[in-house]
Amino acid sequence: MESKVNDKSDKPDKPIRVLWDVKTPMRDGTLLSSEVYLPYEEGAFPAILQRTPYGNEEIYCVNVGKFFAQHGYAFVFQDVRGRGDSDGIFDEYNEGNDGYDTIEWIAAQPWCNGNVGMRGGSYEGAVQWDAARKNPPYLKAIIPQALVPDLMETIPFSNGIPRLENLQWLFFVSGRSNQCNILTAIDWDHILFHLPLKTMDKKIGKTLSSWQKILEHPNLDEFWKSNRASKEECSQMNIPMLFISGWHDDSLRGTLWAYQKVLENTPKPDQIYLLIGPWNHGGTGAPKQQLRGIDYGPQAVLNMREVHLKWFDYWLKGIKNEVSEWKRTQLFLMGENKWQNFDVALPSIEKGKLELYLNSDGNAQSSKGTGKLQRKAPTQETKDIFTYDPHNPVPDYPVLNLYGEEVDGS
């Protein structure tokens, strides 16, 4: 990433207008709630939509809305269906239609000039992808960040293995507001050892229809396939997309899956960009120089709001800026701690061959083990033995979790 994206904005802290709890009707009559941040002066502006399941009243949301309104955008921060002040029942499988309807509504408002973009990370990145699958005519650019485009391979399973820690997230969003006590008041070490999985939610004291639905579909059946982006849908995606993830982000695989899918099918692959830094899940929105004691240097820290602003200025306002000079693929090389940028898409980058060999002294069977990868074939090999105990399972997610923190349990 070019260092100039770190530059501070030259916009003053000027007043804005805010429309609170604005209701948007969906095709089924459900009303979704949004806070709309507008420039102080009257007029029609390009709009940016961010849809969240975490509540749009947080100070972070206010600051983001204020930032973009001060830079000439109508910023719409919406509670998704069934969350916050929005009506209906939370349904992670219906975000595409709600996104489409919201974009149509925004474009018809007197404060919008018909150009709409989307931003946000994690679930907020996934709802962008879901909306883009519906090909809304007024959606002109998106920034899917740390997204989870394939719900089966991201939330409930990983290569077919149940990801039990996501039960925490399902409980966290199980009410209209964030269930923060779920994360601190529950003995999760005790809960996650419970069998059978079907009654694990009841062990906490609440039946979750979302958890039950996951267990009813353990394989890649029509239920999951219908929630995957099809080739036809991706072939209609002709808008600029900036995919952002991190090497320590548990959503990296999902981000790359969506990136590859659209690259293979879009009629405009030259408008698809990829940015991967030395970040964890949260760091894709607020990059830090250090992660788990490793210092990646000041070049690892990007002002993401400024990155987003320049992207939308270029595609929604037609402002000629450094986005026209950005390379399509921008990767942070850990170890060398520098950015390396490429004019071509990731699959077209010249690849080399590197042979690595497994080796250990016989104690490679734990997260603290002595197993290693080495470039030379081992001259001596020691047998490693692992005893499987279903009452002491191995972690069902990587040793570095999605926040880049080391974890021990299931």
What would the pLDDT profile of 353-409 be if each residue is shown by its tens digit? 888 898 888 888 777 788 888 888 988 878 888 887 877 766 654 434 444 444 443
pLDDT at 396: 53
- 8-state DSSP, 337: T
Q: How many Cα atoms within 13 Å fall on the side-chain side of residue 25?
A: 4
In angstroms, the CA 334 to CA 14 distance is 40
Helix, coil or strand: residue 307: helix
Which letter does DSSP use for residue 298 in this model? Answer: G
For the record, the structure tokens of 10 come out as: 């030259």
Domain-located, residue 215: yes
Residue 73 is assigned to a structural domain of this protein: yes
Residues 280 and 135 grouped into a single domain: yes
- Domain final residue, candidates 194, 222, 250: 222
Both 122 and 173 in one domain: the answer is no
Q: What is the pLDDT of residue 5?
A: 32
102 and 25 within one domain: yes
Domain encompassing residue 111: 3-150+239-348
Same domain, 141 and 197: no
Q: For residue 176, is it within any domain?
A: yes
Place of tokens 């100039």: 4
Same domain, yes or no: 137 and 266: yes
Q: Is 406 inside a domain boundary?
A: no
Give the residues of the chain that fall short of pLDDT 50: 1-10, 397-410
Residues in the chain: 410
pLDDT in tens, 261-283: 999 999 999 999 999 999 999 99
pLDDT at 403: 42
**334 and 303 assigned to the same domain:** yes
Domain membership flag for residue 409: no
17-25: long-range contacts, CB 8 A cutoff, minimum separation 24: 17/69, 18/65, 21/85, 24/78, 24/101, 24/102, 24/105, 25/101, 25/105
Q: Does any domain span residue 408?
A: no
pTM of the entire structure? 0.88
Q: What is the dihedral of CA 219, 220, 226, 232, to 10 degrees?
A: 180
Domain-embedded: residue 131: yes
Question: Alpha-carbon distance 207 to 102, whole Å?
Answer: 31
Domain contains 48: yes
Look at residue 299 in the predicted model and tell me its pLDDT.
96
Indicate if 243 and 216 belong to the same structural domain. Answer: no
Pairing mode, strands 157-158 and 161-162: antiparallel
Q: Are residues 33 and 106 located together in one domain of the fold?
A: yes
**pLDDT of amino acid 369:** 82
* Same-domain check for residues 126 and 268: yes
* Whether residues 136 and 278 fall in one domain: yes
Dist CA 112 CA 32 (whole Å): 18
CB 41 within 8 A of CB 15: no
| Distance (Å, whole) CA 182 – CA 204 | 9
Domains identified in the chain, total number? 3
Same domain assignment for residues 369 and 257: no
Looking at 71-122, list the stretches that DSSP marks H as alpha helix, in order from N- to C-terminal side.
95-107
**Dihedral, 132, 341, 294, 370 alpha carbons, nearest 10:** 90
Please report, for the domain that includes residue 299, its CATH number: 3.40.50.1820
Residue 117: partners with Cβ closer than 8 Å, 6 or more residues away = 46, 47, 48, 49, 139, 140, 141, 142, 143, 312, 315, 316
pLDDT of 185 reads 79
Residues 118 and 184 in one domain: no
d(CA 281, CA 207): 28
Provide the pLDDT for residue 343.
92
What is the pLDDT, as a whole number, of residue 263?
94
Identify whether the C-beta of residue 57 lies closer than 8 Å to the C-beta of residue 84: yes
